[in-house]
């Protein structure tokens, strides 16, 4: 029996170190996508709430940016310690809110969150400039200063992990934050912000305003008190953010969509390639920006790749995210499930062949069968448009040039994979692929130490590593006359 609204926990905004109700008094019901049952009531922030958060972040900026870098590092390391202590709580929260299998969150998401915080804690006292001998009668040097107040707009597919990709480097650089989690997965951001306060992050430095993108997100983009917006999400929303940010020349970093090609040559280890290809498209129910949704197989092995991939799809255990043997949970929402099933219909109408899957599982929860399409032509919509679900399109190719042509033939350029036993071939093809990350004889790994991002409909700029330090700082040149 579902809980009544009065029985549900109520989550207010977190502004200036305090939980505060939304100015409008409005709340929405957060739903568990596996059961369709209510989890909590979550505050619906407004433009006025964003303004309050910006004023708190602006007031806290001088103290946080002016703190000794080593002290900021100590606070971030305490933050990582607390995340580690509360890891299982965060695993459960993320699983319930986003429908992610417990085992996957425990294995990947939460360890990556902790690693990200520790990595950027190490950067705090290493953000430096340089002396540039421009002329003998002056001391000329550069410093890097915090960009200021940052608006971080976080997606629903990896709320904890991608959220921390933005939060940790911004804090390390001395910035203050207004974080807007996705409306349908807000719970982990609120809990993480509470742990940051407990670790010693001062009030006002890390604020969370929940609510609709069309309200809270737009207010963040438009607010003149926010110096930078970092966003992960769809290309359509990303374009809107760029247009809005242009009004006051706000800096932006955008990590957007993907339609990544996983290229399998005939001389590859086909078993290893199809195993990784299945993981590359079905992990997190295909709700991954770098999902290998286009599997390009050389004609000599095309039928074998389709057969092996379909067998792996049928073997995936789809079900309750809390069950230890579940390897794929539900899609995040009813709307996303409809989008995916609509694309299955499109693929069938275009003439592709659904070898396996393509249907909803059960009548409760947003579960969709892992789906493999064969006989896919490069120009089909299921080959060109991001589905963001467990739908693989297997496309034949003839030779190296044909593979590169097809792989590069979309508006996206986030990631790609190449499988071959020929070392010269994989290096050559990797160099010709238009992608921010290319995996060779593997697929899908990420690490906070390596740059992450793409171009075109895949975004603008890079996250991770030292690229994130550049995202959240501004260089300043200083000229001291010696005459």
Residue with tokens 């350029």: 413
Q: Active-site residue numbers?
A: 255, 289
Rounded Cα distance between 94 and 44, Å, is: 20
Closest to 180 (Cα-Cα) out of 336, 45, 56:
45
Helix or strand (DSSP H, E) at 138: strand 138-146
CA 439 to each of CA 49, 200, 260, 387: distance values in angstroms, whole numbers, following the listed order: 43, 39, 11, 21
**Contact (Cβ atoms closer than 8 angstroms) between residue 53 and residue 178:** yes
Q: Residues 6 or more apart from 246 whose CB is under 8 A from it?
A: none
Query: For 108, left (φ over 0), alpha (ψ -120 to 50), or beta?
Result: alpha
Backbone angles phi, psi at 218, to 5 degrees: -65, -35
Question: What is the phi/psi pair of residue 370, to 5°?
Answer: -60, 130
Rg (CA), the chain: 23
Classify strands 437-440 and 294-298 as parallel, antiparallel or unpaired: unpaired
Q: Is 306 helix (H, G, I), strand (E, B) or coil?
A: helix
Within 13 A of 252's CA, how many CA atoms are on the CB side? Answer: 25
Q: Which two tokens stand for residue 348?
A: 């069938």
On whether the CB atoms of residues 162 and 152 are closer than 8 A, the answer is no
For the chain, first and last CA: distance in Å? 81
Cα distance between residue 402 and residue 119, in whole Å: 40
Contact 331, 99 (CB under 8 A): yes
Measured in degrees and rounded to the nearest 5, phi and psi for residue 269 equal -75, 100
């Amino acid at each position: 029996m579902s809980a009544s609204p009065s029985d549900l926990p109520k989550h207010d905004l977190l502004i200036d170190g305090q939980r505060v109700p939304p100015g409008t008094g409005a709340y929405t019901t957060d739903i568990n996508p596996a059961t369709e049952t209510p989890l909590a009531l979550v505050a619906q922030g407004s433009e006025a709430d964003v303004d309050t958060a910006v004023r708190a972040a602006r007031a806290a900026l001088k103290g946080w940016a002016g703190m000794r870098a080593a002290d900021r590092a100590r606070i971030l390391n305490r933050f990582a310690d607390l995340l580690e202590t509360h890891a299982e709580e965060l695993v459960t929260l993320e699983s319930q809110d986003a429908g992610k299998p417990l085992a996957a969150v425990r294995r990947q998401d939460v360890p990556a969150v902790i690693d990200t915080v520790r990595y950027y804690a190490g950067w705090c006292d290493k953000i430096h400039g340089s002396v540039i001998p421009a002329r003998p009668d002056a001391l000329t040097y550069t410093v890097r200063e915090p960009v200021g107040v940052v608006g971080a707009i976080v997606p629903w597919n990896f709320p904890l992990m991608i959220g921390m990709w933005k939060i940790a480097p911004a804090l390390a650089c001395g910035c203050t934050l207004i974080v807007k989690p996705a409306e349908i997965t807000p719970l982990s951001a609120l809990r993480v912000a509470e742990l940051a306060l407990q670790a010693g992050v001062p009030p006002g430095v890390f604020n969370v305003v929940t609510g609709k993108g069309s309200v809270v997100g737009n207010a963040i983009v438009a607010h003149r008190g926010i110096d930078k917006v970092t966003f992960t999400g769809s290309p359509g929303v990303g374009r809107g953010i760029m247009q809005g940010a242009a009004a006051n020349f706000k800096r932006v970093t955008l990590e957007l969509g993907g339609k990544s090609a996983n290229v399998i040559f005939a001389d590859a280890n086909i078993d290893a390639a199809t195993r990784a290809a299945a993981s590359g498209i079905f992990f997190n129910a295909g709700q991954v920006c770098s999902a290998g949704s286009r599997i390009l197989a050389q004609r000599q092995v095309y039928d074998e790749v389709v057969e092996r991939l379909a067998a792996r799809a049928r073997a995936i255990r789809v079900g309750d995210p809390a069950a230890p043997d579940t390897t794929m949970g539900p899609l995040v929402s009813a709307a996303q499930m409809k989008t995916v099933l609509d694309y299955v219909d499109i693929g069938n109408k275009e003439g592709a062949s659904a070898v396996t899957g393509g249907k909803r599982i059960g009548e409760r929860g947003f579960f969709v069968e892992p789906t493999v399409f064969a006989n896919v032509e490069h120009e089909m919509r299921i080959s060109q448009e991001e589905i963001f679900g467990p739908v693989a399109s297997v496309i034949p190719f003839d030779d190296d040039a044909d593979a590169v042509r097809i792989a590069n033939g979309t508006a996206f350029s986030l990631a790609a994979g190449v499988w071959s036993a020929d070392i010269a071939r994989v290096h050559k093809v990797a160099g010709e692929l238009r992608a921010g990350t290319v995996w060779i004889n593997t697929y899908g790994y990420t690490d906070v130490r390596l740059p992450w991002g793409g171009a075109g409909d895949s975004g603008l700029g890079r996250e991770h590593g030292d690229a994130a330090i550049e995202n959240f700082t501004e260089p300043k040149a200083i000229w001291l006359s010696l005459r």
